[in-house]
Amino acid sequence: MAKDMTLLWGTGSPPCWRVMIALEEKSLQGYNQKLLSFEKMEHKSQEVLDINPRGQLPTFKHGDNVLNESYAACFYLESQFKSQGTKLIPDGPAEQALMYQRMFEGLTFYEKLNVVIYYTFNWFVPEGERHESALKRNKEALVTELKLWESYLQKLGSGSYLAGPSFTLADVVVFPTVGTLFRFGLSPERYPKLGEYYNLLKERPSVKASWPPHWLENPKRLDTLKDI
């Protein structure tokens, strides 16, 4: 039951967003939640460490079951609440296989975005180790990755989700990355298929309900990625 669940999360964090979308899709509204601040280092607080020794968000409990890895939480929720809410893993083997393939490519996609963002904002990279050439290289890698996802969506046609005609776990885990890309200024003119996908998903109730609050407070997009 949602009342036995607790999510500790941070705004704008794709891994946290994934779990929140999954909870909404499985009709588990009403879970206990606490918004924490990365800036104030609240992800390293004792409250978090008691559940997640890695001091990371999301941190998620269902009763005594701890699932801090966002993909683990999403799989768990689909499995435990299979009979309620949206069916997130399709029955057809072909669609299922594509869902699994895209879900896990989603990890690579997210990492490539992260490297660029961290580098741009000087997070996690000590000053003496920053190289202009590295930022350039990482941006090029992200562009290659973006073109791949554009091609995936192109092949499936307009209005499609990542694994075909239905919304699946692939969309749960990958949309937050796409949402973040556009927040940081990705050009929908240069990436029209991703733009279309973004527009389709941003209207979905589960996505709207879990939209990062600080993006609502400051709706102006950044321009970090506008030229890539």
Task: Show contacts with another protein in window 140-199 (CB under 8 A).
Answer: 148
- With CB under 8 A as the rule, give the number of residues binding another protein: 38
Considering only 54, 82, 208, 214, the residue that binds another protein (CB under 8 A) is 54
Q: Does 50 engage in binding with another protein (CB under 8 A)?
A: no
> Cα separations (Å) of 47 from 37, 44, 56, 99, 168?
13, 8, 11, 35, 32
Query: CB of 221: closest distance to another protein in angstroms?
Result: 29
Q: Which is nearer to another protein, 76 or 211 (CB)?
A: 76
Query: CB of 100: closest distance to another protein in angstroms?
Result: 4
- Do 141 and 111 contact (CB within 8 A), yes or no? no
Of 111, 17, 30, 118, the residue nearest 73 (C-alpha): 17
The SS3 assignment for 220 reads: coil
Query: CB of 65: closest distance to another protein in angstroms?
Result: 4
Q: Does 138 engage in binding with another protein (CB under 8 A)?
A: no
Q: Does 120 engage in binding with another protein (CB under 8 A)?
A: no
Which string of x and - marks every residue 14-33 that binds another protein (by CB under 8 A)? --------------------
Of 184, 190, 186, the residue nearest 221 (C-alpha): 184
Q: What is the 3-state secondary structure (H, E, C) of 64-117?
A: CEECCCHHHHHHHHHHHCCCCCCCCCCCCHHHHHHHHHHHHHHHHHHHHHHHHH
Q: Which is nearer to another protein, 55 or 188 (CB)?
A: 55
Q: How far apart are CA 221 and CA 215, in angstroms?
A: 8
Q: 163 Cβ partners below 8 Å, 6+ apart?
A: 90, 95, 96, 98, 99, 102, 170, 171
Considering only 41, 51, 94, 209, the residue that binds another protein (CB under 8 A) is 94
Q: Does 45 engage in binding with another protein (CB under 8 A)?
A: no
Considering only 8, 21, 88, 89, the residue that binds another protein (CB under 8 A) is 89
Residues of this chain that bind another protein (CB under 8 A): 53-54, 62, 64-73, 75-76, 79-80, 89, 93-94, 96-98, 100-101, 103-105, 107, 111, 126, 128-129, 131, 133-134, 137, 148
